[in-house]
Structure 1
């Protein structure tokens, strides 16, 4: 049977997804902050601050930030003194991140072009693994979770920030209307790219709900997994430990 996966509301051959996702993020790399502002009304900045507080990076730790090309999470962790490797499948996103780091005067970050499903790092390499708004773009999510578990040391912690489905009555309908109608139009206005923004909204709708994704984290071998919903689950922080 053909291995099919979702790409927005389409079902496509799995072999096509990485290339299509790479094209989307090549298109939006230069406007990444504007994209996140458009999709979240600027609230992504607060969500990322809260996410990093949950990670609690510490001096001397080795942390892998996956799908973190533009540096938003890594920059927030930098002051902790942790040694941070930023990985992303998209070289254009990494270029944006490296340029932003240069302008901010942040040194010591390691930048690596990597596929989250098949990381090149040795097993048991990192104290923590972070991924923010990236896991839903992976072709095989379970495989990426399995590899996250592999590269963590015993006692290592996994943290994922991702959009989900809000459980608040009424708010879900309002956000659906906003995201499906306004965000693509904002993409056209701000980045002259309506279709990439449309995919990003559709990819949220196709991503597993909080309970299902928690089960996938458990299946990868993590223990004491937890879900911290925000805005009723519109966004959630997922976490787990490797023992």
Structure 2
């Protein structure tokens, strides 16, 4: 079974792939496929997207192309996790049903609060998400990632507006939500996602929004067990 990896806002999917590779590669029947968002570091030849419908369609089409008639599961981190229900809905309509969905630090598209996209706020988010100091000090590189993050926040804002009138459904797909105990939004996120997917499984581990990047964290065994 193939495993699709989707990354977080403002970064490179390889950052997420690296923390999963040991768990996934150790299971020989699974094939890891990382999908970079257009305009991000591994897809710089493509234009950035600011419309959620376009990105969801792009990701859905890419998953179908890469998986074809093979079984697959989708793992997403932060923005990638938030996109999964929308992608899954499109895939289901087209007859491509994922076997499993694993959403790590899935942000709720809060209707009452959109993301700020001014440069100062965006740079602060990038630093929190682990932007290396070498990039922070390089204006060209820093400006590139600021532009990427602004584009991704437009996507999340678009999802916030879209979800008002678009009920989501992932049917009976085996679904897992995993978040950090110290992430200030975890409780509210779980309440929101549980209202949509009462049959999903929910689990927290020590740490904040990027809990999975802490090598001292003991979430690896659980993650391996649900793959």
Q: Shared fold by TM > 0.5?
A: no
The two structures have a TM-score, normalised by structure 2, of 0.43
Larger strand percent: 1
